[in-house]
């Protein structure tokens, strides 16, 4: 599904459990060939809403089922494919852990694991995803305070 401005659009999930978040190392490397530590995300299938896509991608890429809590916001960036710059936007959603094991991830992911939220804010490869986890951490703390 393409977004309004001719950009690619994807949805991603941030699942939180007891102060931890699930992170992935996809099999696809960064442009410089380095391993990426990131959040699960992917394109929407036909007739699928963004929250549904985020939930599906979460299950496929991490083996984890989550319950939708709410929207965390968008991340915009661009990447290069066949010498062409492609703009992309990813809408991230916060999920509460329900069930599953990170060992059950799909073939597109080299590794899925739980990581303390504070560590993810420091170690995720992309600054925009670190900001998304920071938002998830704030929302999670707010929920725990109620």
β-strand pairing of 8-17 with 84-100: parallel
Percent helix, strand, coil in the chain (nearest 5)?
30, 45, 25
β-strand pairing of 8-17 with 64-81: unpaired
Is 2's pLDDT higher than 50? no
Domains in the chain: ranges and CATH:
8-145 (3.90.79.10)
Count H helices, E strands: the chain? 3, 6
Is 146's pLDDT higher than 60? no
Considering the entire predicted model, what is its pTM? 0.89
Is 1's pLDDT higher than 90? no
Q: What is the pLDDT of residues 40-98, one digit of tens each?
A: 999 999 899 999 999 999 999 999 999 999 999 999 988 777 888 889 999 999 999 99
Is 5's pLDDT higher than 50? yes
Q: Could you give the percent of the chain with pLDDT greater than 70?
A: 93
């Amino acid at each position: 599904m393409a977004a309004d401005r001719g950009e690619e659009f994807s949805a991603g999930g941030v699942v939180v459990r007891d102060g931890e978040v699930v992170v992935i190392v996809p099999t696809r490397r960064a442009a410089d060939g380095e391993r990426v530590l990131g959040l699960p995300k992917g394109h929407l299938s036909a007739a699928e809403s963004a929250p549904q896509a985020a939930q599906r991608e979460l299950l496929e890429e991490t083996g984890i089922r989550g319950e939708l809590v709410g929207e965390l916001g968008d991340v915009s960036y661009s990447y290069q494919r066949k010498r062409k710059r492609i703009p992309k936007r990813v809408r991230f959603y916060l999920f509460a852990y329900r069930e599953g094991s990170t060992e059950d991830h799909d073939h597109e992911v080299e590794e899925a694991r739980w990581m303390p939220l504070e560590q993810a804010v420091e170690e995720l490869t992309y600054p925009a995803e670190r900001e998304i986890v920071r938002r998830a951490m704030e929302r999670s703390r707010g929920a725990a305070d109620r």
